[in-house]
Amino acid sequence: MRRHILLATRNKNKAAELETILSGFSLRVLGLDEFPELKEIEETGSSFAENALLKARHACAATGMVTLADDSGLEVEALNGEPGVYSARFYLKHPGCGGAAQNPPERKATDKDAANIACLLERMKNIPEGRRQARFCCAIAAVAPPGGLITAFGAWPGMIALAPAGKYGFGYDPVFWDPELQLTAGQIAPKVKNSRSHRYRALQNLLRLWPGFWAEVSG
């Protein structure tokens, strides 16, 4: 019998990626698209972990389901950790950067991705190749109605490329360079990416805690 949990996201790309990673487990994952009346909570946390917990607790309280939520983004060493928790709206934090004026918040995701990448590359235009270290980060939280919770973190280290490359992925993938594979995340086939991404690493860390968590909340 498959167990049902809720994945607190309406991001179809993220949901598809997590569904693939979870495919080996006997879980049926429902997304927020199945709860259209549930309003999304504002991400006011100062860290990925705080935002993940905010989203998981909000959706769990509203639906009564064991809920899994994540928050992820890009941290660039030379930018003192930016974009960080503002990764999805980086171009809005720096008006006029990377074509932000032509990409208001209501534009579709692909336009926002392009604006974020343009803004990032603009802010890094004077940073040499040897100082472009970065990492994708992901925090995941699982919350259950009885009050149980577990959290985990994963990071994927790399560099910021000088220009976008690749047709796969979303977000900053076209400019995130994996030194081991010598490819951007946008050039890495989804199946390979899903076996090494920050989200995969965070989820693997979470799953190590899952048996004890599940025994506590479903017993």
**What does DSSP assign to residue 91?**
H
Q: Which residue has the tokens 């208001």?
A: 104
**Minimal CA–CA distance to 70: which of 183, 213, 197?**
197
Instruction: Count CB neighbours of 58 within 10 A.
Output: 19
Strands (DSSP E) found in the chain: 3-7, 27-31, 67-76, 133-143, 149-160, 176-178, 183-184
Active site residue 111: no
Residue 93, judged by CB atoms within 10 A of its CB (0-12, 13-18, 19+), counts as middle
Strand partners, 7: 31, 68
Q: What is the DSSP string of 87-108?
A: GGGHHHHSTTGGGGGGS-TTS-
**What does DSSP assign to residue 40?**
P
Which candidate in 70, 71, 113, 173 is catalytic?
71
- Cβ pair 49, 141 in contact under 8 A: yes
Cα–Cα distance for residue pair 90/120, rounded to 1 Å: 8
Residue 8 is inside which H or E element, if any? Answer: none
Catalytic residue numbers, as ranges: 71
